[in-house]
Structure 1
Amino acid sequence: MQFTYDNLAKDEVLKIENDNYKHIIKARRHKVGDILAFRNLIDKNIYYYEIFSIDKRSAILKLKSFEEKIIDVKKQLHIGWCLVDPKTVEKELPYLNELGVKTITFIPSDYSQKNFKLNFEKMQKILINSSQQCGRSSIIDLHICKSLDEFISLNPDSYMINFSNKRVDDYKDEIKTVIIGCEGGFSKAEVENFNDQKIVGFSTPLILKSQTAVSAVASKILI
């Protein structure tokens, strides 16, 4: 782990317990006097704490120093992801966070199943764990939109990933916001109502799953 997340990181005294205690003291076997890095993922600072005391259920740490340390990709990418199975989303989130995706907005679309319900608290925990591992000084911002029409009205410069002779590679420097379909893709009406000049695709004849497409486009644009 590159750092440990604690929402109270920046306080002069930090008490760790529960999962952080188990990981730092029980698993990693840190001792009194060791210096550990923490982030609160609110500001861009990294905080260095010294372990002051350890008991059976918790440990007390004291702040030694801190510095602003931004670790993130330079380009910002906003993905509008038409709703898919939450399990699929949860599995894909760590990879998208590592790639540096800035924002994901989930969108109900014509082919989305109507009974899907996203657990934002669980997804945030997944993202925090991902940033602890990869060192990113932030996590993906997660949002939900009422409809595809609303998303497009709020993000008029959006591109759509679909079958097209225009390639993502040729527009990757222009794409700031991109819409990915759910399983089954977009309906005929959704495609016809979109600006066809901003529909781009991949140079493959194969049909990609939604989670494959979302990782592929993030990879092409961000790294």
Structure 2
Amino acid sequence: MHLSRLFIDCPLAVGQEIVLAKESAHYLLNVLRQRVGTQVTLFNGQSGEYVADLIAAAKKNAHLQVTEYKNIERESALQLTLVQAISRPEHMDYTIQKAVELGVQRIVPIITERGLTRSREQRWRKILISACEQCGRNRLPQLDNVLSLNAWLAEQSQSFCIVLSPTGKQGINIQSLSGIEKNLTVLIGAEGGLSEAEIEQTRQAGYLDIRLGPRILRTETAAVTVLAVVQALWGDLYESGDRS
């Protein structure tokens, strides 16, 4: 039986009684329509998940009793970092949601020439948490503070790095990305892509410029496409079942 899942931002332990915050109680009682006596799954973003009984409910609050811990992990062995230029709000929200579902462990919003500059980190974190609740992840991906492209490229990366470019000479395949072991960083521009100067800047920083086929994809489409392909080639899209 599939249990409703809730993120709880505190330590969890078997036997613990939890009073849900107002927003979480509303979601559990009024959106998911759970009633006293039902079970829910809790996770706190660290490791594993917990089963809890809904033992009391009122209009604006809910009490849970933690009854069991399950050492279940659904993280990919491929350590994926998505460096995403800030795009229009609806596109950025979609990209973050799908990146979480596709197993990205770190998301870095960056400012580029053709992208936006406004940070919406509180909203992005809510989307990230909601995506984890939906897709079954028990560890929250890291969401970095917004950086400029220059500041990001100045960081020392220990992973294989690619940048998406419509003029890239190589596609994504085992041969072109033969240096990948278990760490990959993907950098994607916003609407309009990266400028030629920015693409050259990433090349100078050691990024391999990659083209996703003969058609130009929207920024949110490009993110989903590249993450799905690399997870299929080097990650866990071929696996089935929980790993515990």
Q: Which residue of 1 aligns with 2:154?
A: 153
Q: Equivalent residue of 1:50, what SS? A: strand
SS state of the match for residue 8, structure 1?
coil
Give 5+ residue unaligned stretches, structure 2.
Answer: 233-244
| Counterpart residue number, 1:181 | 189
Q: Deviations over 1:169-196 (max 9, x none)?
A: 2445626112112222222222333248
1:110 aligns with 2:113: yes
Q: Which position in structure 2 is the counterpart of 1:34? A: 38
**3-state SS, counterpart of residue 168 of structure 1:** coil
| Structure 1 spans left out of the alignment, 5+ residues | none
How far apart are 1:123 and its partner, in Å? Answer: 1.0
TM-score if structure 2 supplies the norm length? 0.78
Contact 2:35/2:54 (8 A) holds in 1:
yes
Matched residue, 2:58: 55
1:149-178 CA distances to partner (integer Å, 9 max, x unpaired)?
332231454221112221122445626112
Aligned positions of 1:74-93 closer than 5 A: 74-93=77-96
What is aligned with 1:25?
Answer: 29
The Cα offsets for residues 18-77 of structure 1, whole Å up to 9 and x where unpaired, read as: 333334334545444333221111x21312222333334323222222132211222111
**Paired residue for 2:212, among 181, 202, 207?**
202
Distance 2:115 2:92 in 1: 13
Greater alpha carbon shift after TM alignment, 183-192 vs 193-202 = 193-202
Q: How many residues are aligned here?
A: 219
| Matches of 1:45 and 1:112, distance apart in 2 | 37
SS at match of 1:136: coil
Q: What root-mean-square deviation, in Å, do the aligned CA atoms of Structure 1 and Structure 2 show?
A: 2.4
What displacement does 1:97 show? 0.9
Please give the alpha-carbon distance, in whole angstroms, between the structure 2 residues aligned to 1:182 and 1:58. 41
For residues 150 and 221 of structure 2, the distance between their equivalents in structure 1, rounded to whole angstroms, comes to 24
Q: C-alpha distance in 2, partners of 1:54/1:167?
A: 54
Is 1:222 matched up with 2:224? no
Residue 70 of structure 2 aligns with an amino acid whose one-letter code is: E
Identity of matched residues, %: 20
User: Which residue in 2 is equivalent to 1:190?
Assistant: 198
Name the CA distance, whole Å, in 1 between partners of 2:31 and 2:200: 55
Residues 48 and 150 (structure 1), Cα distance of their counterparts in 2 relative to 1, 3 Å cut:
same
**Structure 1 residue runs of 4+, over 6 Å off?**
none
- Length-normalised TM-score, structure 1: 0.85
